[in-house]
Structure 1
């Protein structure tokens, strides 16, 4: 579980430098942050320690916010919002009903 997330993160960070330090920073940090999210999701799904599960939830929120901030800082569009991995149930907004 964790090794798959780590392998994906490491592969994603192997980007060819563009010469633009800001864009290169974001290009390498995005897979790093996504790797943290993937590992936190694995902890939520398979972990047993409640304290670590709470930390994992915080990591997911923090890393998603940082990904959004970095994308906005270099002018990349944000993807449409999706429910957090711990949320379930109806995925429609109240306005759609």
Structure 2
């Protein structure tokens, strides 16, 4: 048997649902505001990576591979740096540090493999405590 809520109960339920929705929306907006610098940095890294990966083919498969992979690896470095700047999970921050080192090494190895000059040295990102939210 289906029981229909009385009118006052229905209004109360609708009001509570609306309040819960509003509070959830406010909470989501606040979280989005706190996360915005990270998301902006990540979006910029992705845009740079995608632009760089759109290299025009040269007819040399090896050079074309490196031309596309270097921006891909740099994108991973840039995203890892955003984690170091804004993330708070120590395990993820350590992984991000490892990603930076490993991806820099792979970029250098690919450049050496095709006889290209090594990329300029870059300083490591700040390893200090991330921004507090």
TM norm. shorter chain > 0.5: yes
Larger Rg: 2
Larger fraction in helix: 2
- Post-superposition shift, 1:83? 2.7
* Structure 2 counterparts to residues 5-24 of structure 1, below 5 A: 5-24=45-64
* Structure 2 counterparts to residues 9-88 of structure 1, below 5 A: 9-86=49-126
For the 8 Å contact 2:84–2:127, the answer to whether it is kept is: no
TM-score by length of 1: 0.84
Aligned length: 88
- Post-superposition shift, 1:86? 3.1
Per chain length, whose mean CA-contact separation is higher, i.e. which structure has more relative contact order (CA < 8 Å, sep 6+)?
Answer: 1
Could you tell me which runs of 5 or more consecutive residues in structure 1 were left unpaired when the two chains were aligned: 89-97
Distance 2:103 2:90 in 1: 20
Could you tell me which runs of 5 or more consecutive residues in structure 2 were left unpaired when the two chains were aligned: 1-40, 129-133
For the 8 Å contact 2:80–2:96, the answer to whether it is kept is: yes
